[in-house]
Structure 1
Amino acid sequence: MQRFFTTLFLVLMCSLSSSAQSAFVKVKGGAFQINNKPYYYIGTNYWYGGLLALEKSEGRGKARLRKELDFMKEQGVNNLRVLVGAEGRGLVNGVERVKPALQPDQGEFNDAILEGLDFLLAEMGKRKMYAVLFLSNNWEWSGGFLQYLNWNKVISDSTMQSKMNWDDLRDNTSKFYSCGACKADYERQLRHVLSRVNKYTGKKYTEDPAIMAWELANEPRPMRTTAVPAYKQWIVSVTKLIRKLDKNHLITLGTEGIMGTDESADLFREIHAPGEVDYLTLHIWPKNWGWFKDTSIAESLSQVISRTQDYIGIHEKIALQLNKPLVVEEFGLPRDGHSFSPSSATTCRDQVYKAIFDIWKESREQNGRVAGCNFWTFGGTARPKEGQLFWKEGDDLMGDPPQEEQGLNSVFDSDTSTWNLVRSYLKGPGVSSFGKNKH
């Protein structure tokens, strides 16, 4: 009898273990799956989500976070791309950076910051939402690669704090990949984060199904062609390290696509080919890439949409060749007339979103490679301050980072036309409440 109960106990434990493991997002046959069912999603960028719970005011912090997660869930959005933590302090490239920092000084971590990420992941887990966590940044607004270079004396304090022109920024940032001490600092933060145990759930980060994927950085570019060999070596090294430390979660790079790889489709394909890289990403920035000029969004809209469709198509072919999913994980457009006011219309933005969602929908219906979309970005219940363009310490965080005009690309909870559009794709026939196909 004792043997019977022992056997029954072991069977039940194995069953529970199998059930828990199946809750992780996986890749099979070139597509995402959860519990062996297809997972096609429309999500958003919520980079500041891990910082909200740190607010001393409940209304601006945990209460706001819960409210915004509930709001997104009601729209059908269940996938959020989130910053793990910022590096350093003070001005960088002439602008404010995200604060408070996870690593305010070289090799010194403020684990209280990770308690905010703990809370976010715990609340997302309750709602069956999934996080893509990016570990650092090619750009200055959270410290990122420039901070590692500064700590290791590759760039001076004065260079770090001054406003660099584009060529200087490329020259300086590209040095990260050949700086052994900088890469060691990055890996130290990576190991620190992946060893974390969630204060609220008791789960190790490496065992938490609320995390969908680890992303090497936000838009890691070689920046200069001369840095490409070191850039490729770094990608291989870091993805192997993450896979060694974490067998459960997906890994991706966080690239913009060929715009971030010296406009080379071959380089984009090569860096996503290794087995440790589970899926491809691309970003679309019509304003930054000069697809329209000044405030003439409406006049250039047809061209913006056409170029957006073509850009996705190029990367979809590469995803097919590699038999891996593709996520359009950043795309944004200012409001009509390039206004920053939440009261302004979003007619042009909605049409660009629709063009992207149409491609995603067709892919979903055909079990294709375009598996996810994360629009940039959710501004939630925050609002820009009248007469103030840029973020100041003490302001509510919103989707636009500190170096950008507040309200530039944020989708607020009041943007009814955009949310109606999102719901129309996520609440239709063949899609469950979690954004997955029904079969």
Structure 2
Amino acid sequence: MKAWGLILLVFLLNLQEKPVKAEDGFITTKGVQFWLNGIPFYSNGFNAYWLMYEASDPSQRHKVSAVFQQASNHGLCIVRTWAFSDAGYRPLQYSPGSYNEQMFQGLDFVLSEAKKYEIKVVLSLVNNYDEYGGKKQYVEWAKSKGQSLSSKDDFFTNPVVKGFYKNHIKTVLTRVNSITGVGYKDDTTIMAWELMNEPRCPSDPSGKVLQDWISEMASYLKSIDANHLLEVGLEGFYGDGKKQYNPNTGKEGTNFIANNQVPGVDFATVHSYPDQWLNGSPCEVQLSFHQQWVQQHILDSLNILKKPVIFAEFGKSYKVSGYTSSDRNQLYNITYSSIYSSASRGGPAAGGLFWHLLTMGMDNFRDGYEIVFKEESYIAGIISEQSQKLSGLRKKYAQLRDTEKNKY
């Protein structure tokens, strides 16, 4: 009762400070919480990077609709997906500034379907890796324009490359959905933009290069769209002072604390793949690391960043030696229980997005981490239970809000 009394006091103070209109559909942040329609927003979610690709082929759009329906049935309210595909096969961006309208219409469909199922969307704008083009493709484009570049990390510093990326930001944010007629930057279905999927700059372990890039791109993006939230796309690796928490040597050129303190960055993200990062270690060691990894980032989001945090990717692959479904289920339970424990106290952990959700008939997208609800009822139950618990928190906040409204 004491905990809920404190939450009620905080809620009333926030309500008096700035009433939130019920019709406002953009998710915002206030302190360490997300807010939507006048109440704190906690929600379970998933990754489905393939949505735009499949939706660009009208004969495959039923897969997008099916996965959204199944997600909704399991209480999932956030999806993270790609808003990039640079050069290569069926790209979104053929070359700098030259776009594939059919692929863009696929993304339009994704957003229109997500709205039908009341699922918020996080859109990532470029890849750190070579898949779907990524920073390597941007550097190749600049080299074809006469730039003398030698590293993929020139993506973060070369003015021509940065110009290409800024143009992509502007093109996506100012896109008008061909189905709904709503501009992306005005679409409340979009929860947030992500600057890059898992940015790393190993050529500069000090972290300065990536820090400067985040600052520049966050400022640019917010100058176009001040409505939506922004996150970096970080895995959560620490810089100097906290490298002892990393599962590696800490040479990725990222800094969870400093990167998320950049003005314009609204919330933090964390990924966790102990089966990759501690490959060869006993499962107990991996799970112990995972629990500490999750808890440390919740504490730092609360005490240092003072911002919400989403565990934007996590999972365990059956393709890694020593895998058992029991260990995978335990990893999910550790993640979910840590998030709920924080959320139930009004804390910063707002949700977890597992990697990744497929529907039947998508064998070519299987990577060992996939969840197909119709194949595994037990993990589906774990996911549904977390969704119900977080939904229950939102209902309690809504009841508090309505009770206070009725007093006046």
| Paired position in structure 1 for 2:279 | 292
* Unaligned residue ranges in structure 1 (runs of 5+): 1-16, 90-98, 161-170, 385-390, 392-397, 399-405
Distance 1:229 1:429 in 2: 37
- Aligned counterpart for 1:151 among listed residues 141, 144, 147: 141
| Paired position in structure 1 for 2:185 | 206
| Paired position in structure 2 for 1:335 | 318
CA contact (8 A) 2:92 2:104 kept: yes
- Aligned counterpart for 2:352 among listed residues 373, 376, 380: 373
SS of 2:346's equivalent? coil
Query: What's the offset of the Cα at 1:363?
Result: 0.9
Distance 2:116 2:124 in 1: 21
Distance 1:218 1:331 in 2: 14
The answer as to 2:325 corresponding to 1:349 is no
SS of 2:255's equivalent? helix
Residues 306 and 246 of structure 1, relative CA distance in 2, 3 Å threshold: same
Which residue identity is paired with 1:307? F
Structure 1 segment 23-422 matched on structure 2, within 5 A: 23-57=25-59, 61-89=60-88, 99-153=89-143, 172-225=151-204, 228-258=207-237, 263=250, 267-289=255-277, 291-293=278-280, 300-320=282-302, 321-335=304-318, 338=321, 346-384=325-363, 391=364, 398=365, 406-413=366-373, 414-422=375-383
1:80-102 CA-to-partner distances (Å, cap 9, x unmatched) read: 0010021011xxxxxxxxx4211
Which residue identity is paired with 2:379? T
CA contact (8 A) 1:76 1:435 kept: no
SS of 2:111's equivalent? helix
Residues 312 and 279 of structure 1, relative CA distance in 2, 3 Å threshold: same
CA contact (8 A) 2:214 2:262 kept: no
* Unaligned residue ranges in structure 2 (runs of 5+): 1-19, 244-248, 401-408
Query: What's the offset of the Cα at 1:228?
Result: 2.9
Residues 155 and 245 of structure 1, relative CA distance in 2, 3 Å threshold: closer
Residues 179 and 438 of structure 1, relative CA distance in 2, 3 Å threshold: farther
| Paired position in structure 2 for 1:94 | none
Residues 336 and 189 of structure 1, relative CA distance in 2, 3 Å threshold: closer
Residues 430 and 43 of structure 1, relative CA distance in 2, 3 Å threshold: closer
Distance 1:315 1:209 in 2: 28
Identity, in percent, stands at 26
CA contact (8 A) 1:49 1:82 kept: yes
Query: What's the offset of the Cα at 1:337?
Result: 6.6
Residues 312 and 256 of structure 1, relative CA distance in 2, 3 Å threshold: same
1:135-163 CA-to-partner distances (Å, cap 9, x unmatched) read: 0010111111000111112899xxx9xxx
Query: What's the offset of the Cα at 1:345?
Result: 6.3
Query: What's the offset of the Cα at 1:26?
Result: 0.8
- Using the size of structure 2 for normalisation, the TM-score is 0.83
Residues 236 and 198 of structure 1, relative CA distance in 2, 3 Å threshold: same
CA contact (8 A) 1:76 1:433 kept: no
Query: What's the offset of the Cα at 1:229?
Result: 2.3
| Paired position in structure 2 for 1:96 | none
1:192-213 CA-to-partner distances (Å, cap 9, x unmatched) read: 1111001111111011110000
Query: What's the offset of the Cα at 1:428?
Result: 4.1
